[in-house]
Amino acid sequence: MSGPNRVTSRRLADGREIIYVDEPGTHERLAVDERPAEERVTSGELRWDALVGDWVVIAGHRQNRVLLPPKDECPLCAHGVGSAPSEIPEDDYQVVVFENRFPSYSSESSGVEAPDPRGLFGTRPAEGRCEVVCFTSDHDSAFKNLPLPRVRTVIDTWADRTRVLGARPEVEHVFCFENRGPEIGVSLHHPHGQIYAYPYIPQRSQQLLDRAEAHLAATGRLLGADLLEAERADGSRVVVSGTHWTAYVPFAARWPLEVHLAPHRDVPDLDALDDDERDELAVVYRDLLRRLDRYHVAADGSPVAMPYISAWQQAPSKRGRDASRLHLQLMSVLRGPGKLKYLAGSESGVGGWINDVPPERTAARLREVAE
- Which residues are known binding-site members for Zn(2+)? 74, 77, 139, 190
Annotated binding site: 74, 77, 139, 190
Instruction: Give me the DSSP letters along 124-188.
Output: EE--SEEEEEE--S-TT--GGGS-HHHHHHHHHHHHHHHHHHHTSTT--EEEEEEEESTTTT-S-
240 Cβ contact list (under 8 Å, min separation 6) = 246, 247, 284, 287, 288
Angle at 127 (CA atoms; ends 195, 187), nearest 5 degrees: 40
Q: Which of 47, 49, 318 is nearest to 201 (CA)?
A: 318
- Rounded Cα distance, 116 and 99, in Å: 31
361 Cβ contact list (under 8 Å, min separation 6) = none
Q: Is 215 a catalytic residue?
A: no
- Rounded Cα distance, 234 and 229, in Å: 9
- For 267-289, the three-class secondary structure string (H helix, E strand, C coil) is CCCHHHCCHHHHHHHHHHHHHHH
Asked if 104 contacts 65 with a C-beta cutoff of 8 angstroms, the reply is no
Catalytic, out of 79, 173, 189, 192: 192
Residues carrying an active site annotation: 192
